Structure 1
Amino acid sequence: MTNEPIAATLFGPEDLRVIEHPLGALAPGMVRVRFGAGGICGSDLHYFRHARTGDFVVNAPLILGHEVAGEVVEINGAAPGLSVGDRVAVNPSRWCGHCARCEEGRANLCENIYFMGSASKTPHMQGGFASIFDAMPAQCVRVGGDVSFQAAALAEPLAVSLHAVARAGEIGGKNAIIFGAGPIGLLVMLAARLKGCGQMTVADIAQAPLAFADRLGADRAIDLSPGEAELTGLAAESPFDIAFEVSGTAAGLAAAIASVRRGGTVVQIGNLPGGKIPVPANAVMSKEIDLKGTFRFGTEFNEAVELISAGEIDVLKLVTAERSLAAANDAFQLAADRSRSVKVMLTAD
């Protein structure tokens, strides 16, 4: 490896290579960012294992990474509020701003969106797990010098969680359950707490993440690995007002629908397997459940940066390991082992 810029690039299932990635001249209207830190997300792991996540399939080499932060090193053209040397959290979304969804204020559903490190479009939009990468000025949100790159990078998953909580509607004092104790599930718990949610239960099939949820303040942690008897009994005694399905499994969605009260709300956050899956739709009908999807985030990204900067949510509590960008393959192997990690961060060195 030379001193050329490098990037963690996926070529196929479990074929992640850290390769040289030289950049040409910076295009007009763009900002060049030096990588500071990045978090490995569940969707990154799906790409790593299967070269796909849900219905998004990798068909060309893809630089992964959408939870990133860094330092502005070059600006070509107007970039109001930005200067070389600024530390920034990078919003991975590039919205068009003029389609029907953008104009109605739902830019996360933009019909022409490109998202860093995603195979949702062809050609794919390359991600931020690269020592140098380019972004639009609007993607770069300044952070103070007292905010670490690691914390700034986690604005993205916090924004996802804030958007999911917003999709649930009024949650003040309500009884909620979260299926899936991974990073997003834990951040949903913290975000819901901040917004006034009442009792919080977290359910998972793995003991290590559940223990982590307990340390972060879950009122109850349910281990589903022996079966759903405990959950069924609890839901019968006191059905949940809201269920957040974060596991991305058909079983998790079915359990969420079964666990909420009549007239309750289920928010689907996890990326379910591509194609058709079984859903207990009759229960959705007969219990008159509000089943809501939630996709990425909109203005919540800036809110997430503000909350992290103000110390209102300590996202670094989720970080269990750090590895250098050059050791991305090792980092992905570690992140894939839920018994040893919750959130693995890549750093510049």
Structure 2
Amino acid sequence: MAPSATGEPAPMHLPAALKASTINASVLHGPRDLRLERRCIEDPGTGELQIAVKTTGICGSDVSYYKKFANGDLCACMPLSLGHESSGVVVAIGPQVTGFNIGDRVALEVGIPCGQCGICRRGRYNLCKRMRFRSSAKSVPHFQGTLQERINHPAVWCHKLPDNISFDTAALLEPLSVAIHAVNRASPTPGSTALVLGAGAVGLLTAAMARQAGCSTVTIADVDQGRVDFAIAKGFATHGYVVPRPLHTSSSCASIYSGSSSGVSTPDGVMTPASTLSFQSQLDSAKSLAAEMLALTSSSNPLLVDDEDDGVDVTFECTGKEVCMHTSLYATRSGGKVIMVGMGTPIQTLPMSVAHLREIDILGIFRYANTYSTGIRLLCARDRLGRGAGYILPDLDQMVTHRFKGLENAKGAFELASRTIDDDGNLVLKVVIEA
């Protein structure tokens, strides 16, 4: 391959066999109306790579679109390919791209900011108002997701992978980035105590990153016994608390914990909606639940320093539920922090005086920025370092509990991803679709 005028090897451009080709794509046309279609794909444009998608993880927001053709306030108004947790292989290189070769393995960062506004220049590109994010209905026309055989994607948002990171683990770099960003916002000091509400994929990874950041105790809470057990057994958290599932929420608002960042849940039994309870009753339940969590975990490894400083240093709320925010405020010590990770209930009524009088900082996060390289380094480090080197990030491959082969099986993958256990009673944590 001849060198370019700059001395760099000239990029390998699109093979003739790929020109003006068609691909299979999984396309959502309405609630649960998922179709396998043929789409045309153009040559990669200036600054783009063409990626053969190998693995896509199903996120809670994808499940929401699948079931309702909407995610929160965002309603799809045209057919949409879902998927944004993805990895793949470079199969073609567009003009003015250097540093990549055909066959390179990459993780895809699928949010594309404008790169020109003041927010982007300050490095907080996740907040860019002109952000286009794959599989989201926010921009019109919608930015199509990664559940396609191949996509063209800006090279600057493709992250090279070392050989020791599998495609499945690479796809989990997206939720891992959320966790990294959440812990960066919390900035816990070494020896801090942390509580994570919700043991879905993001909650598990947030707990692991809190441990990575030096938190001495990390308690994870969820209504699902299997998820809490998994978190402890696999080293994501140091302590676990299974939130009781009462017959009705008047005895505990905890029964509407989602167990995931998306708010998807399949609680057992018939429960009275939280909206039927008085606000004070909700607060009383949240306060009692917080006290139970702290009391039970303190027996083996104190979260309560003394009677005047009861609570954890930082709470990561990973469900997006109003009652979980209530619990977060009561479980956090004076001068501590609550990090809002999960996006669920858009309008919430909170006991702000709890945060006000105790100087609890409430910090929001939205996706992530400048995190992929950190995630890749952490995943590489776990193979280089031994057990004596301190806390090592768990093997993320073990989070993938179910794999579906081929886009033609996407519907089954989405149906399963909306559940917490499969037909055989096995834990459903992360479902992926592989090429």
The alignment's TM-score, normalised by the length of structure 1, stands at 0.94
1:346 aligns with 2:418: no
Residues 41-97 of structure 1 deviation map (CA, whole Å, 9 limit, x = unaligned) = 111112222222223221111111111000111111022211111111111121211
Aligned residue number for residue 414 of structure 2: 332
- Structure 1 distance, partners of 2:328, 2:192, is 16
Residues 43 and 94 in structure 2, CA contact (< 8 A), matched pair in contact too: no
Matched AA of 1:219: T
Q: Any gaps of 5 or more consecutive residues in structure 2?
A: 1-20, 247-251, 255-287, 296-303, 305-309, 383-391, 422-426
- Structure 1 distance, partners of 2:141, 2:132, is 10
Choose 65-74 or 41-50, whichever is displaced more: 41-50
- Structure 1 distance, partners of 2:104, 2:352, is 50
State the 1:120 CA deviation: 2.0
Aligned length: 345
Deviation above 6 Å: which 4+ runs of structure 1? none
- Structure 2 distance, partners of 1:283, 1:230, is 16
Aligned residue number for residue 327 of structure 2: 255
Matched AA of 2:57: G
Aligned with residue 290 of structure 2, among 231, 251, 255: 231
State the 1:254 CA deviation: 1.3
Choose 44-53 or 318-327, whichever is displaced more: 44-53
Q: Of the two structures, which has the highest relative contact order with CA contacts closer than 8 Å and spacing of 6 or more? A: 1
Would you tell me which structure has more strand in proportion to its own residues? Answer: 1
Q: Any gaps of 5 or more consecutive residues in structure 1?
A: none
Aligned residue number for residue 222 of structure 1: 241
State the 1:309 CA deviation: 3.1
Matched AA of 1:107: Y
- Structure 2 distance, partners of 1:84, 1:50, is 39
Residues 235-276 of structure 1 deviation map (CA, whole Å, 9 limit, x = unaligned) = 4754111110001111111111121111110000101234x2
The alignment's TM-score, normalised by the length of structure 2, stands at 0.76
Matched AA of 1:56: L
Identical columns (%): 34
Residues 110 and 134 in structure 2, CA contact (< 8 A), matched pair in contact too: yes
Residues 289 and 327 in structure 2, CA contact (< 8 A), matched pair in contact too: no
- Structure 1 distance, partners of 2:142, 2:345, is 20
Q: CA RMSD in A?
A: 1.8
- Structure 2 distance, partners of 1:116, 1:78, is 23
Aligned residue number for residue 278 of structure 1: 349
Aligned residue number for residue 198 of structure 1: 216
1:62 aligns with 2:93: no
Q: What secondary structure is seen at the aligned counterpart in 1 of 2:139?
A: coil
Q: What secondary structure is seen at the aligned counterpart in 1 of 2:41?
A: coil
State the 1:334 CA deviation: 1.1
Residues 89 and 305 in structure 1, CA contact (< 8 A), matched pair in contact too: no
Matched AA of 2:404: R
- Structure 2 distance, partners of 1:130, 1:58, is 18
State the 1:4 CA deviation: 4.7
Aligned residue number for residue 27 of structure 2: 9
Following superposition of structure 1 onto structure 2, how do residues 97-116 of structure 1 map, counting pairs within 5 Å? 97-116=115-134
State the 1:132 CA deviation: 0.8
1:81 aligns with 2:95: no
Aligned residue number for residue 378 of structure 2: 307
Residues 53 and 271 in structure 1, CA contact (< 8 A), matched pair in contact too: no
Matched AA of 1:187: L
Aligned residue number for residue 151 of structure 2: 133
Distance 1:7 1:219, change over 3 A: same
Residues 152 and 308 in structure 1, CA contact (< 8 A), matched pair in contact too: no
Aligned residue number for residue 288 of structure 1: 359
Matched AA of 1:309: C
Residues 188 and 214 in structure 2, CA contact (< 8 A), matched pair in contact too: no
Matched AA of 1:346: I
Choose 22-31 or 67-76, whichever is displaced more: 22-31
- Structure 1 distance, partners of 2:187, 2:98, is 34
Return the index of the structure with the highest Cα Rg: 2
Q: What secondary structure is seen at the aligned counterpart in 1 of 2:315?
A: strand
State the 1:234 CA deviation: 4.0
1:47 aligns with 2:47: no
